[in-house]
Amino acid sequence: MSYNPFKQNWSSLNPFARPEADTSEAEAAAAEQAEIERKQREAEAAINAVFDKFGESDYQRVSDARTNFEDIELQDQYKDALQELEFALARGGRRGATNIRARADAAKEWKKQKLLSGRRASQDVENYKNQIADARQNMHSLNIANADPAMLADTAARNASMISAPATYDPLVDVFKSITEGFATQREIDDRRRLMNQYRGNYA
């Protein structure tokens, strides 16, 4: 190949030409950032896959756990309260309208306590949903700081299992005491009146 003395790299002779910038470092940083974002998307999908599994069947399970637990106590306490009511009515010799009204009031109290139990179950479900939402948000926040799909997926699964652990409930204490409260008070009044009459009779 013959040498052509007129073929020059004229750009190299241009005193105003700028040297080409070295972009290798910027390209490496961009590639690193792209890899971080890829891992974050992968971790985000793994996190969502864990918490998306929660649904209506889980919410119903939480609700049923509360009502089933309290139903046993409510039934036992209601049975005892009705027996106490029968004793109170028998001791007071009450008949007719008083008797019917007392039993109607007891039935209303049963419905009230069942309604309150249902409300507590609904609140349990809301708390459960909030726990799930908070756990999901915490995992996504952790994902921003540490894009490790495998670790985050494992942590999300552990957190989800803790949320699903069986709940514990406080026992219901004497919830039907109002059924016999009035009769107990009246009985005390009757007893005091009877003692007073007896006292007066002894000193008449």
What's the pLDDT score for residue 32? 85
Task: Assign 3-class secondary structure to 3-69.
Answer: CCCCCCCHHHHCCCCCCCCCCHHHHHHHHHHHHHHHHHHHHHHHHHHHHCCCCHHHHHHHHHHHHHH
The amino acid occupying position 150 is A
Cα R_g (the chain), whole angstroms = 39
pTM for the complete prediction?
0.71
Q: What is the pLDDT of residue 75?
A: 96
Residue 154 lies inside a defined structural domain of this protein: yes
Domain contains 17 = no
User: Would residue 41 count as lying in a domain?
Assistant: yes
What is d(CA 65, CA 56) in angstroms, rounded to the nearest whole number? 14
Per-residue pLDDT, 203: 47
CB under 8 Å to 175, separation ≥6 — which residues?
A: 74, 77, 113
The number of domains in the chain is 1
Short-list 120, 134, 125, CA closest to 169: 120
In whole angstroms, give the CA distance from residue 103 to residue 85: 8
pLDDT at 194: 66
> Per-residue DSSP letters for 162-202?
HHTSPP--PPP-STTTHHHHHHHHHHHHHHHHHHHHHHHHH
pLDDT under 70 in the chain at which residues?
1-22, 92-97, 182-204
The pLDDT assigned to 163 comes to: 92
Whether 49 maps to a domain, the answer reads: yes
The token pair that represents 12 in the structure block: 């190299």
Residue 199: inside a domain, yes or no? no
- Here the tokens at position 120 are 């507590």
DSSP 16: T
Amino acid letter for position 151: M
130: in domain: yes
Is 50 within a domain?
Answer: yes
Q: Kindly compute the dihedral angle of the four CA atoms of residues 177, 179, 184, 189, in this order, to the nearest 10 degrees.
A: 130
- 87's tokens: 């004793």
Residue 168 lies in a domain: yes
Domain that holds residue 176: 37-183
